[in-house]
Structure 1
Amino acid sequence: MTNLDGTPAITKPSYTFWILFYGSICSSWLLLFVMSSTDSVTSLAFIKDFCISASEASIFQLTGMWSLMIGAMMLPSFYNFVVVHQDIRRNDFKHTALLTSGYVAIWVTVVPLASLAQKYFLEQNLIGLDGRSHSMLLNGLLLLTAGIYQFTKIKNACLTVCSSPMHFFLGHWKEGYTGSFRMGAQLGTICVICCWALMLLAFVGGAMNMLWMAGLTSIMVIEKQGHLSEKFSGLLGMTLIGAASITLVLSIFLEVIT
Protein backbone atom coordinates (compact mmCIF):
# COMPACT_ATOMS: atom_id res chain seq x y z
CA MET A 1 0.00 0.00 0.00
CA THR A 2 1.29 3.48 -0.88
CA ASN A 3 0.55 7.09 0.02
CA LEU A 4 -0.84 9.69 -2.37
CA ASP A 5 2.65 10.52 -3.64
CA GLY A 6 3.58 6.88 -4.25
CA THR A 7 5.81 6.47 -1.19
CA PRO A 8 5.44 3.31 0.92
CA ALA A 9 2.66 3.54 3.45
CA ILE A 10 3.43 3.31 7.15
CA THR A 11 0.52 1.59 8.81
CA LYS A 12 1.69 1.26 12.40
CA PRO A 13 0.87 4.10 14.83
CA SER A 14 3.56 6.77 15.14
CA TYR A 15 4.08 6.51 18.88
CA THR A 16 7.23 8.62 18.69
CA PHE A 17 5.34 11.56 17.25
CA TRP A 18 2.61 11.43 19.88
CA ILE A 19 5.13 11.15 22.69
CA LEU A 20 6.84 14.28 21.38
CA PHE A 21 3.52 16.06 20.75
CA TYR A 22 2.02 15.45 24.18
CA GLY A 23 5.43 15.80 25.81
CA SER A 24 5.83 19.28 24.33
CA ILE A 25 2.42 20.33 25.62
CA CYS A 26 2.94 18.92 29.12
CA SER A 27 6.49 20.23 29.49
CA SER A 28 5.37 23.69 28.33
CA TRP A 29 2.62 23.80 30.95
CA LEU A 30 5.00 22.49 33.61
CA LEU A 31 7.63 25.14 32.89
CA LEU A 32 4.98 27.87 32.83
CA PHE A 33 3.70 26.66 36.19
CA VAL A 34 7.21 26.79 37.64
CA MET A 35 7.70 30.28 36.23
CA SER A 36 4.39 31.47 37.67
CA SER A 37 5.29 30.25 41.16
CA THR A 38 7.18 33.09 42.82
CA ASP A 39 8.38 30.84 45.62
CA SER A 40 9.51 28.02 43.35
CA VAL A 41 13.07 26.80 43.81
CA THR A 42 14.95 24.87 41.18
CA SER A 43 18.54 23.88 40.62
CA LEU A 44 18.24 24.03 36.84
CA ALA A 45 20.08 27.11 35.63
CA PHE A 46 18.09 27.57 32.44
CA ILE A 47 14.83 27.62 34.39
CA LYS A 48 16.30 30.08 36.88
CA ASP A 49 17.05 32.41 34.01
CA PHE A 50 13.33 32.58 33.22
CA CYS A 51 12.04 32.53 36.80
CA ILE A 52 12.66 36.22 37.38
CA SER A 53 10.47 39.25 37.69
CA ALA A 54 8.82 40.24 34.43
CA SER A 55 10.05 43.79 34.97
CA GLU A 56 13.63 42.48 34.97
CA ALA A 57 13.14 40.17 32.01
CA SER A 58 14.69 40.98 28.66
CA ILE A 59 12.78 40.75 25.40
CA PHE A 60 14.60 37.47 24.81
CA GLN A 61 13.36 36.02 28.11
CA LEU A 62 9.81 37.25 27.54
CA THR A 63 9.97 35.73 24.06
CA GLY A 64 10.98 32.43 25.65
CA MET A 65 8.00 32.62 28.00
CA TRP A 66 5.57 33.37 25.18
CA SER A 67 7.07 30.56 23.10
CA LEU A 68 6.23 28.17 25.92
CA MET A 69 2.70 29.57 25.92
CA ILE A 70 2.39 28.79 22.23
CA GLY A 71 3.40 25.20 22.90
CA ALA A 72 1.00 24.94 25.82
CA MET A 73 -1.99 26.69 24.27
CA MET A 74 -1.86 26.33 20.50
CA LEU A 75 -0.65 22.75 20.04
CA PRO A 76 -3.85 21.37 21.65
CA SER A 77 -5.95 23.34 19.16
CA PHE A 78 -3.93 21.79 16.31
CA TYR A 79 -4.72 18.24 17.42
CA ASN A 80 -7.53 17.61 14.91
CA PHE A 81 -5.30 18.54 11.98
CA VAL A 82 -2.56 16.25 13.24
CA VAL A 83 -4.96 13.31 13.52
CA VAL A 84 -6.42 13.80 10.04
CA HIS A 85 -2.98 14.32 8.50
CA GLN A 86 -1.69 11.14 10.11
CA ASP A 87 -4.68 9.23 8.77
CA ILE A 88 -3.97 10.51 5.26
CA ARG A 89 -0.24 9.87 5.56
CA ARG A 90 -0.80 6.55 7.33
CA ASN A 91 1.09 7.66 10.43
CA ASP A 92 4.19 8.92 8.63
CA PHE A 93 6.21 10.53 11.43
CA LYS A 94 8.34 12.85 9.29
CA HIS A 95 5.49 14.39 7.32
CA THR A 96 3.34 15.05 10.38
CA ALA A 97 6.32 16.40 12.33
CA LEU A 98 7.02 18.83 9.48
CA LEU A 99 3.36 19.84 9.33
CA THR A 100 3.45 20.63 13.05
CA SER A 101 6.80 22.40 12.73
CA GLY A 102 5.41 24.68 10.03
CA TYR A 103 2.43 25.51 12.22
CA VAL A 104 4.59 26.30 15.25
CA ALA A 105 7.09 28.28 13.16
CA ILE A 106 4.43 30.82 12.20
CA TRP A 107 3.32 31.27 15.80
CA VAL A 108 6.93 31.70 16.91
CA THR A 109 7.34 34.59 14.46
CA VAL A 110 4.43 36.34 16.21
CA VAL A 111 5.86 35.80 19.70
CA PRO A 112 8.18 38.86 19.67
CA LEU A 113 5.14 41.10 19.14
CA ALA A 114 3.52 39.70 22.28
CA SER A 115 6.79 40.17 24.16
CA LEU A 116 7.08 43.79 23.04
CA ALA A 117 3.46 44.43 24.01
CA GLN A 118 4.01 43.00 27.49
CA LYS A 119 7.20 45.00 27.95
CA TYR A 120 5.44 48.20 26.85
CA PHE A 121 2.45 47.62 29.13
CA LEU A 122 4.83 46.97 32.03
CA GLU A 123 6.78 50.15 31.40
CA GLN A 124 3.53 52.12 31.25
CA ASN A 125 2.37 50.45 34.48
CA LEU A 126 -0.73 49.14 32.71
CA ILE A 127 -0.14 45.54 33.78
CA GLY A 128 1.37 43.84 36.80
CA LEU A 129 4.24 41.40 36.99
CA ASP A 130 1.77 38.56 36.47
CA GLY A 131 0.75 40.07 33.13
CA ARG A 132 -2.65 41.18 34.41
CA SER A 133 -4.00 44.59 33.45
CA HIS A 134 -4.36 47.24 36.16
CA SER A 135 -6.62 49.33 33.97
CA MET A 136 -10.35 48.65 33.70
CA LEU A 137 -10.36 50.78 30.57
CA LEU A 138 -7.69 48.58 28.96
CA ASN A 139 -9.56 45.45 30.05
CA GLY A 140 -12.75 46.78 28.52
CA LEU A 141 -11.06 47.67 25.24
CA LEU A 142 -9.38 44.26 24.99
CA LEU A 143 -12.64 42.46 25.72
CA LEU A 144 -14.48 44.63 23.20
CA THR A 145 -11.85 44.04 20.52
CA ALA A 146 -12.01 40.28 21.00
CA GLY A 147 -15.81 40.31 21.09
CA ILE A 148 -16.30 42.36 17.94
CA TYR A 149 -13.65 40.36 16.08
CA GLN A 150 -15.70 37.20 16.64
CA PHE A 151 -18.29 38.53 14.18
CA THR A 152 -15.95 39.69 11.41
CA LYS A 153 -15.84 37.96 8.03
CA ILE A 154 -12.13 37.20 8.28
CA LYS A 155 -12.59 35.54 11.68
CA ASN A 156 -15.44 33.40 10.40
CA ALA A 157 -13.51 32.47 7.26
CA CYS A 158 -10.47 31.40 9.27
CA LEU A 159 -12.59 29.57 11.82
CA THR A 160 -14.26 27.62 9.02
CA VAL A 161 -10.85 26.36 7.95
CA CYS A 162 -9.70 25.67 11.51
CA SER A 163 -12.78 23.57 12.23
CA SER A 164 -12.61 21.51 9.00
CA PRO A 165 -9.26 19.67 8.74
CA MET A 166 -10.30 17.25 6.00
CA HIS A 167 -11.79 20.03 3.90
CA PHE A 168 -8.52 21.97 4.15
CA PHE A 169 -6.35 19.02 3.14
CA LEU A 170 -8.61 18.13 0.22
CA GLY A 171 -8.39 21.67 -1.11
CA HIS A 172 -4.78 22.56 -0.26
CA TRP A 173 -2.85 19.30 -0.34
CA LYS A 174 0.86 19.60 -1.12
CA GLU A 175 3.19 16.69 -1.76
CA GLY A 176 6.61 16.02 -0.30
CA TYR A 177 8.31 17.06 2.91
CA THR A 178 8.37 20.73 1.96
CA GLY A 179 4.69 20.43 1.11
CA SER A 180 3.90 19.21 4.62
CA PHE A 181 5.83 22.10 6.15
CA ARG A 182 4.13 24.61 3.84
CA MET A 183 0.69 23.27 4.75
CA GLY A 184 1.59 23.62 8.43
CA ALA A 185 2.78 27.18 7.86
CA GLN A 186 -0.42 27.98 6.00
CA LEU A 187 -2.48 26.59 8.86
CA GLY A 188 -0.36 28.52 11.35
CA THR A 189 -1.04 31.75 9.48
CA ILE A 190 -4.77 31.06 9.42
CA CYS A 191 -4.71 30.19 13.12
CA VAL A 192 -2.89 33.41 14.04
CA ILE A 193 -5.47 35.45 12.13
CA CYS A 194 -8.24 33.47 13.82
CA CYS A 195 -6.98 33.62 17.42
CA TRP A 196 -4.91 36.81 17.85
CA ALA A 197 -7.76 38.74 19.47
CA LEU A 198 -8.44 35.96 21.97
CA MET A 199 -4.74 35.84 22.82
CA LEU A 200 -4.94 39.52 23.79
CA LEU A 201 -7.20 38.44 26.64
CA ALA A 202 -4.10 37.02 28.33
CA PHE A 203 -3.57 40.55 29.63
CA VAL A 204 -7.07 40.69 31.10
CA GLY A 205 -6.77 37.71 33.42
CA GLY A 206 -2.99 37.56 33.65
CA ALA A 207 -0.50 36.03 31.23
CA MET A 208 1.04 34.12 34.14
CA ASN A 209 -2.31 33.05 35.61
CA MET A 210 -2.35 29.36 34.74
CA LEU A 211 -6.09 28.90 35.33
CA TRP A 212 -6.90 31.86 33.09
CA MET A 213 -4.58 30.69 30.32
CA ALA A 214 -5.96 27.15 30.59
CA GLY A 215 -9.43 28.63 30.21
CA LEU A 216 -8.40 30.50 27.06
CA THR A 217 -6.86 27.31 25.72
CA SER A 218 -10.11 25.43 26.30
CA ILE A 219 -12.08 28.16 24.54
CA MET A 220 -9.84 28.02 21.46
CA VAL A 221 -10.00 24.22 21.36
CA ILE A 222 -13.80 24.12 21.69
CA GLU A 223 -14.21 26.88 19.10
CA LYS A 224 -12.44 24.73 16.51
CA GLN A 225 -14.71 21.72 16.91
CA GLY A 226 -16.75 21.58 13.71
CA HIS A 227 -20.15 20.81 15.25
CA LEU A 228 -19.77 23.55 17.89
CA SER A 229 -17.80 26.15 16.00
CA GLU A 230 -20.38 28.61 14.66
CA LYS A 231 -22.76 28.68 17.63
CA PHE A 232 -19.99 28.73 20.21
CA SER A 233 -18.13 31.52 18.42
CA GLY A 234 -21.23 33.70 18.30
CA LEU A 235 -22.07 33.05 21.94
CA LEU A 236 -18.49 33.80 22.92
CA GLY A 237 -18.56 37.06 20.97
CA MET A 238 -21.76 38.24 22.66
CA THR A 239 -20.38 37.28 26.08
CA LEU A 240 -17.17 39.22 25.49
CA ILE A 241 -19.03 42.29 24.24
CA GLY A 242 -21.33 42.12 27.26
CA ALA A 243 -18.36 41.85 29.63
CA ALA A 244 -16.65 44.71 27.81
CA SER A 245 -19.72 46.93 28.12
CA ILE A 246 -19.97 46.34 31.87
CA THR A 247 -16.24 46.90 32.34
CA LEU A 248 -16.20 50.12 30.33
CA VAL A 249 -19.27 51.51 32.12
CA LEU A 250 -17.67 50.74 35.49
CA SER A 251 -14.44 52.33 34.33
CA ILE A 252 -16.21 55.55 33.35
CA PHE A 253 -18.28 55.55 36.55
CA LEU A 254 -15.23 55.12 38.77
CA GLU A 255 -13.42 57.84 36.85
CA VAL A 256 -16.31 60.24 37.41
CA ILE A 257 -16.74 59.62 41.14
CA THR A 258 -13.02 59.85 41.83
Structure 2
Amino acid sequence: MLRRSQLFAPLFVALTTSAWIALWMWDAGPYARYLRHASWAELPLVGALCRAVPGAGLSLAALLHSLAWLLMIAAMMLPTAFPLFDTFRRMTSGRENQGTLMALLIGGYATAWALFGLAAHGFDAVLHRVVDQSPSLFGDGWLIGAAIIALAGAYQFSSLKHRCLDKCRSPLMFISEHWRGRSARRESFLLGIGHGAFCIGCCWALMLLMFAVGTGSIGWMLALGAIMAAEKNFRWGRSIGTPLGVGLIAWSGWIVLQHVVTA
Protein backbone atom coordinates (compact mmCIF):
# COMPACT_ATOMS: atom_id res chain seq x y z
CA MET A 1 0.00 0.00 0.00
CA LEU A 2 1.37 3.40 -0.99
CA ARG A 3 2.25 5.79 1.80
CA ARG A 4 0.66 9.23 1.87
CA SER A 5 4.03 10.82 1.03
CA GLN A 6 4.13 8.78 -2.18
CA LEU A 7 0.63 9.88 -3.11
CA PHE A 8 1.22 13.61 -2.61
CA ALA A 9 2.91 14.37 -5.95
CA PRO A 10 0.48 12.27 -8.07
CA LEU A 11 -2.52 13.86 -6.35
CA PHE A 12 -1.05 17.31 -6.87
CA VAL A 13 -0.52 16.57 -10.56
CA ALA A 14 -4.07 15.23 -10.78
CA LEU A 15 -5.47 18.40 -9.19
CA THR A 16 -3.57 20.65 -11.58
CA THR A 17 -4.47 18.52 -14.60
CA SER A 18 -8.15 18.56 -13.59
CA ALA A 19 -8.08 22.35 -13.42
CA TRP A 20 -6.57 22.56 -16.93
CA ILE A 21 -9.14 20.11 -18.29
CA ALA A 22 -11.98 22.09 -16.70
CA LEU A 23 -10.66 25.31 -18.24
CA TRP A 24 -10.25 23.65 -21.64
CA MET A 25 -13.82 22.29 -21.55
CA TRP A 26 -15.15 25.67 -20.47
CA ASP A 27 -13.23 27.43 -23.23
CA ALA A 28 -14.45 24.89 -25.83
CA GLY A 29 -18.07 25.08 -24.71
CA PRO A 30 -20.93 27.48 -25.49
CA TYR A 31 -20.13 29.70 -22.49
CA ALA A 32 -16.48 30.36 -23.39
CA ARG A 33 -16.96 34.11 -23.72
CA TYR A 34 -18.07 34.33 -20.09
CA LEU A 35 -14.59 33.22 -19.09
CA ARG A 36 -13.33 36.44 -20.61
CA HIS A 37 -14.85 39.95 -20.49
CA ALA A 38 -18.51 39.21 -21.24
CA SER A 39 -21.06 40.02 -18.58
CA TRP A 40 -22.09 37.14 -16.32
CA ALA A 41 -25.52 38.75 -16.17
CA GLU A 42 -26.10 37.64 -19.78
CA LEU A 43 -26.02 33.95 -18.78
CA PRO A 44 -29.38 32.10 -18.83
CA LEU A 45 -30.85 31.76 -15.31
CA VAL A 46 -27.99 33.83 -13.88
CA GLY A 47 -29.18 36.88 -15.80
CA ALA A 48 -32.76 36.33 -14.62
CA LEU A 49 -31.57 36.13 -11.02
CA CYS A 50 -29.55 39.31 -11.42
CA ARG A 51 -32.61 41.16 -12.72
CA ALA A 52 -34.97 39.73 -10.09
CA VAL A 53 -32.90 40.36 -6.96
CA PRO A 54 -31.74 43.95 -6.28
CA GLY A 55 -27.97 44.10 -6.02
CA ALA A 56 -27.57 40.46 -7.02
CA GLY A 57 -25.89 41.34 -10.31
CA LEU A 58 -22.76 42.82 -8.73
CA SER A 59 -22.37 40.23 -5.96
CA LEU A 60 -23.10 37.27 -8.22
CA ALA A 61 -20.74 38.55 -10.90
CA ALA A 62 -18.02 38.94 -8.27
CA LEU A 63 -18.65 35.38 -7.03
CA LEU A 64 -18.55 33.88 -10.53
CA HIS A 65 -15.44 35.85 -11.47
CA SER A 66 -13.81 34.62 -8.26
CA LEU A 67 -14.65 30.99 -9.03
CA ALA A 68 -13.31 31.33 -12.57
CA TRP A 69 -10.20 33.08 -11.30
CA LEU A 70 -9.51 30.41 -8.66
CA LEU A 71 -9.81 27.75 -11.35
CA MET A 72 -7.19 29.63 -13.38
CA ILE A 73 -4.97 29.96 -10.31
CA ALA A 74 -5.25 26.23 -9.62
CA ALA A 75 -4.13 25.54 -13.17
CA MET A 76 -1.42 28.20 -13.48
CA MET A 77 -0.02 28.99 -10.04
CA LEU A 78 -0.28 25.81 -7.94
CA PRO A 79 2.45 24.13 -10.02
CA THR A 80 4.76 27.09 -9.40
CA ALA A 81 4.27 26.70 -5.62
CA PHE A 82 4.77 22.92 -5.53
CA PRO A 83 8.24 23.21 -3.88
CA LEU A 84 6.67 25.12 -0.96
CA PHE A 85 3.88 22.59 -0.48
CA ASP A 86 6.21 19.61 -0.77
CA THR A 87 8.75 21.12 1.65
CA PHE A 88 5.96 21.89 4.14
CA ARG A 89 4.65 18.34 3.78
CA ARG A 90 8.05 16.92 4.69
CA MET A 91 8.51 19.32 7.61
CA THR A 92 5.13 18.37 9.13
CA SER A 93 5.31 14.64 8.37
CA GLY A 94 5.28 13.72 12.07
CA ARG A 95 2.06 15.58 12.89
CA GLU A 96 -1.29 13.82 13.11
CA ASN A 97 -3.08 16.86 11.66
CA GLN A 98 -0.73 17.19 8.69
CA GLY A 99 -3.61 17.01 6.20
CA THR A 100 -5.41 19.87 7.91
CA LEU A 101 -2.26 21.99 8.01
CA MET A 102 -1.60 21.35 4.32
CA ALA A 103 -5.18 22.30 3.45
CA LEU A 104 -4.84 25.53 5.44
CA LEU A 105 -1.55 26.33 3.69
CA ILE A 106 -3.09 25.86 0.24
CA GLY A 107 -6.20 27.74 1.37
CA GLY A 108 -4.11 30.70 2.49
CA TYR A 109 -2.24 30.70 -0.80
CA ALA A 110 -5.51 30.60 -2.75
CA THR A 111 -6.96 33.37 -0.55
CA ALA A 112 -4.09 35.73 -1.43
CA TRP A 113 -4.62 35.12 -5.15
CA ALA A 114 -8.41 35.39 -4.80
CA LEU A 115 -8.06 38.86 -3.25
CA PHE A 116 -5.71 39.89 -6.05
CA GLY A 117 -8.18 38.51 -8.59
CA LEU A 118 -11.06 40.53 -7.11
CA ALA A 119 -8.95 43.70 -7.22
CA ALA A 120 -7.79 43.01 -10.78
CA HIS A 121 -11.30 42.20 -12.03
CA GLY A 122 -12.66 45.30 -10.30
CA PHE A 123 -10.03 47.49 -11.94
CA ASP A 124 -10.71 45.81 -15.29
CA ALA A 125 -14.47 46.39 -14.96
CA VAL A 126 -13.99 50.07 -14.09
CA LEU A 127 -11.55 50.50 -16.96
CA HIS A 128 -13.98 48.93 -19.44
CA ARG A 129 -16.79 51.16 -18.21
CA VAL A 130 -14.65 54.28 -18.59
CA VAL A 131 -13.62 53.22 -22.09
CA ASP A 132 -17.21 52.43 -23.10
CA GLN A 133 -18.36 55.87 -21.94
CA SER A 134 -15.53 57.77 -23.60
CA PRO A 135 -15.59 57.86 -27.42
CA SER A 136 -11.96 58.99 -27.60
CA LEU A 137 -10.72 56.21 -25.34
CA PHE A 138 -12.89 53.65 -27.13
CA GLY A 139 -11.23 54.48 -30.41
CA ASP A 140 -7.75 54.32 -28.89
CA GLY A 141 -8.31 51.36 -26.60
CA TRP A 142 -5.20 49.70 -28.02
CA LEU A 143 -3.16 52.23 -26.02
CA ILE A 144 -4.30 50.58 -22.80
CA GLY A 145 -3.21 47.17 -24.00
CA ALA A 146 0.16 48.52 -25.14
CA ALA A 147 0.65 50.25 -21.78
CA ILE A 148 -0.11 47.04 -19.84
CA ILE A 149 2.35 45.07 -21.98
CA ALA A 150 5.03 47.74 -21.52
CA LEU A 151 4.42 47.78 -17.75
CA ALA A 152 4.78 43.99 -17.60
CA GLY A 153 8.03 44.25 -19.56
CA ALA A 154 9.48 47.04 -17.42
CA TYR A 155 8.60 45.19 -14.20
CA GLN A 156 10.87 42.32 -15.19
CA PHE A 157 13.83 44.62 -14.42
CA SER A 158 12.54 45.90 -11.06
CA SER A 159 14.29 45.11 -7.79
CA LEU A 160 10.91 44.39 -6.15
CA LYS A 161 10.25 41.54 -8.56
CA HIS A 162 13.65 40.01 -7.86
CA ARG A 163 13.22 40.31 -4.07
CA CYS A 164 9.84 38.58 -4.26
CA LEU A 165 11.24 35.97 -6.63
CA ASP A 166 14.03 35.19 -4.15
CA LYS A 167 11.41 34.45 -1.49
CA CYS A 168 9.52 32.16 -3.85
CA ARG A 169 12.68 30.30 -4.86
CA SER A 170 13.66 29.47 -1.26
CA PRO A 171 10.70 27.58 0.25
CA LEU A 172 12.69 26.00 3.10
CA MET A 173 14.04 29.36 4.26
CA PHE A 174 10.60 30.96 3.88
CA ILE A 175 8.94 28.28 6.02
CA SER A 176 11.69 28.53 8.64
CA GLU A 177 11.17 32.30 8.87
CA HIS A 178 7.37 32.26 9.09
CA TRP A 179 6.29 28.96 10.67
CA ARG A 180 7.06 27.90 14.24
CA GLY A 181 4.34 25.29 14.73
CA ARG A 182 3.09 26.65 18.06
CA SER A 183 -0.27 27.83 16.70
CA ALA A 184 -0.01 25.40 13.82
CA ARG A 185 -3.34 26.01 12.10
CA ARG A 186 -3.17 29.79 12.19
CA GLU A 187 0.49 29.83 11.19
CA SER A 188 -0.15 27.44 8.28
CA PHE A 189 -2.89 29.64 6.88
CA LEU A 190 -0.81 32.81 7.33
CA LEU A 191 2.17 31.05 5.76
CA GLY A 192 0.05 30.40 2.67
CA ILE A 193 -1.12 34.01 2.55
CA GLY A 194 2.43 35.30 3.00
CA HIS A 195 3.89 33.11 0.29
CA GLY A 196 0.96 33.96 -1.98
CA ALA A 197 1.65 37.67 -1.43
CA PHE A 198 5.29 37.26 -2.49
CA CYS A 199 4.15 35.14 -5.43
CA ILE A 200 1.83 37.96 -6.47
CA GLY A 201 4.72 40.38 -5.99
CA CYS A 202 6.81 38.64 -8.63
CA CYS A 203 3.99 37.64 -11.01
CA TRP A 204 1.27 40.34 -10.88
CA ALA A 205 2.50 42.23 -13.95
CA LEU A 206 2.54 39.06 -16.05
CA MET A 207 -0.92 38.15 -14.78
CA LEU A 208 -2.19 41.54 -15.94
CA LEU A 209 -1.35 40.41 -19.47
CA MET A 210 -4.35 38.11 -19.11
CA PHE A 211 -6.56 41.18 -19.06
CA ALA A 212 -4.79 42.69 -22.08
CA VAL A 213 -5.21 39.59 -24.26
CA GLY A 214 -8.32 38.02 -22.70
CA THR A 215 -8.58 36.24 -19.37
CA GLY A 216 -9.93 33.07 -20.93
CA SER A 217 -7.17 32.40 -23.44
CA ILE A 218 -5.97 28.84 -22.70
CA GLY A 219 -2.89 29.36 -24.84
CA TRP A 220 -1.86 32.44 -22.91
CA MET A 221 -2.50 30.72 -19.59
CA LEU A 222 -0.28 27.81 -20.61
CA ALA A 223 2.50 30.11 -21.79
CA LEU A 224 2.43 32.39 -18.75
CA GLY A 225 2.11 29.45 -16.35
CA ALA A 226 5.16 27.79 -17.91
CA ILE A 227 7.19 31.02 -17.72
CA MET A 228 6.32 31.63 -14.06
CA ALA A 229 6.99 28.01 -13.11
CA ALA A 230 10.39 28.12 -14.82
CA GLU A 231 11.29 31.43 -13.15
CA LYS A 232 10.61 30.02 -9.69
CA ASN A 233 11.61 26.39 -9.89
CA PHE A 234 14.64 26.11 -12.17
CA ARG A 235 18.18 27.39 -11.70
CA TRP A 236 18.15 28.95 -15.15
CA GLY A 237 14.83 30.66 -14.37
CA ARG A 238 16.56 33.92 -13.48
CA SER A 239 17.83 34.24 -17.04
CA ILE A 240 14.26 34.47 -18.37
CA GLY A 241 13.51 37.92 -16.94
CA THR A 242 15.75 40.04 -19.16
CA PRO A 243 14.80 38.62 -22.59
CA LEU A 244 11.15 38.45 -21.50
CA GLY A 245 11.20 42.11 -20.43
CA VAL A 246 12.89 43.19 -23.66
CA GLY A 247 10.44 41.14 -25.71
CA LEU A 248 7.38 42.62 -23.98
CA ILE A 249 8.62 46.19 -24.34
CA ALA A 250 9.41 45.53 -28.01
CA TRP A 251 5.92 44.08 -28.48
CA SER A 252 4.36 47.16 -26.91
CA GLY A 253 6.44 49.41 -29.17
CA TRP A 254 5.40 47.39 -32.22
CA ILE A 255 1.71 47.83 -31.32
CA VAL A 256 2.19 51.60 -31.00
CA LEU A 257 4.16 51.80 -34.26
CA GLN A 258 1.59 49.73 -36.11
CA HIS A 259 -1.25 52.04 -35.10
CA VAL A 260 0.75 55.20 -35.74
CA VAL A 261 1.68 54.05 -39.26
CA THR A 262 -1.87 52.99 -40.13
CA ALA A 263 -3.49 56.08 -38.58
TM-score by length of 2: 0.76
**2:101–2:188 contact (8 Å) kept in structure 1:** yes
The Cα of 1:51 is off from its aligned counterpart by 7.5
Q: Equivalent pairs: percent with the same residue?
A: 29
Match runs of 1:183-198 below 5 Å: 183-198=191-206
Aligned 8 A contact 1:142 1:200 in 2: yes
Partner of 1:54: 38
SS at match of 1:208: coil
The answer to which of 97-106 and 31-40 deviates more is 31-40
Encode CA deviations 1:185-219: one digit per residue, 9 max, x unaligned.
Answer: 11011111211111011123321111111111111
1:33 aligns with 2:33: no
Q: 1:161-176 residue pairs with structure 2 within 5 A?
A: 161-175=167-181, 176=184
| Aligned CA distance change for structure 1 residues 242 and 51 (closer, same or farther; 3 Å) | closer
CA 1:211/1:52 → structure 2, altered by over 3 Å: closer, same or farther? closer
Q: Flag the 1:53–1:196 CA change in 2: closer, same or farther, 3 A.
A: closer
Secondary structure at the aligned position of 1:143 is classed as helix
**Aligned-partner Cα distance in 2 for 1:52–1:106:** 21
Residue in 1 that maps onto 2:100:
94
- Give yes or no for contact 2:35–2:68 (8 Å, CA) kept in 1: no
How many residue pairs were aligned?
230
- Per-residue CA deviation, residues 225-245 of structure 1 (Å, 9 max, x unaligned), is 251232112222122122122
Structure 2 counterpart of 1:88, which letter? M
2:110 maps to which of 104, 107, 127: 104
Deviation of 1:39 after TM superposition, in Å, equals 3.5
Contact 1:55/1:122 (<8 A) preserved: no
C-alpha separation between the residues in 2 aligned to 1:253 and 1:174?
60
**Partner SS state of residue 252, structure 2:** helix
Partner SS, residue 228 of structure 1: helix
**Unmatched tracts of structure 2, length 5 or more:** 42-60, 133-139
- Say if 2:108 and 2:196, in contact at 8 Å, map to a contact too: yes
Aligned to 2:48: none
Distance in structure 1 (CA, Å) of the matches to 2:78 and 2:35? 23
- CA distance in 1 between partners of 2:175 and 2:185 (Å): 15
1:76 and 1:221 in contact (8 A); partners too: yes
For residues 108 and 165 of structure 2, the distance between their equivalents in structure 1, rounded to whole angstroms, comes to 19
Displacement, 1:83?
Answer: 1.6
Query: How far off is 1:38 after superposition?
Result: 4.2
> Counterparts in 2 of 1:1-258, with a 5 A limit?
12-14=3-5, 18=9, 21-39=12-30, 54-57=38-41, 58-90=61-93, 92-123=98-129, 135-175=141-181, 176-254=184-262, 257=263
Secondary structure of 1:78 counterpart? helix
2:137 counterpart residue number: none
Task: Verify the 8 A CA contact 1:174 1:180 in the aligned structure 2.
Answer: no
Give the match's secondary structure for 1:90: coil
Letter matched to residue 87 of structure 1:
R
Q: What amino acid sits opposite 1:32 in the alignment? A: L
CA RMSD of aligned residues (A): 2.8
Contact 2:36 2:214 in 1 (8 A): no
Deviations 1:95-141 (A, max 9, x none): 22222121111111222123223434554568xxxxxxx94322211
Is there any run of 5+ residues in structure 1 with no aligned partner, and where?
A: 1-10, 41-47, 127-133
Q: Which structure shows the bigger proportion of residues in helix conformation? A: 2
CA contact (8 A) 2:104 2:192 kept: yes
- Offset from partner CA, 1:36-77 (integer Å, 9 cap, x none): 22447xxxxxxx9x7798234433322221121111111111
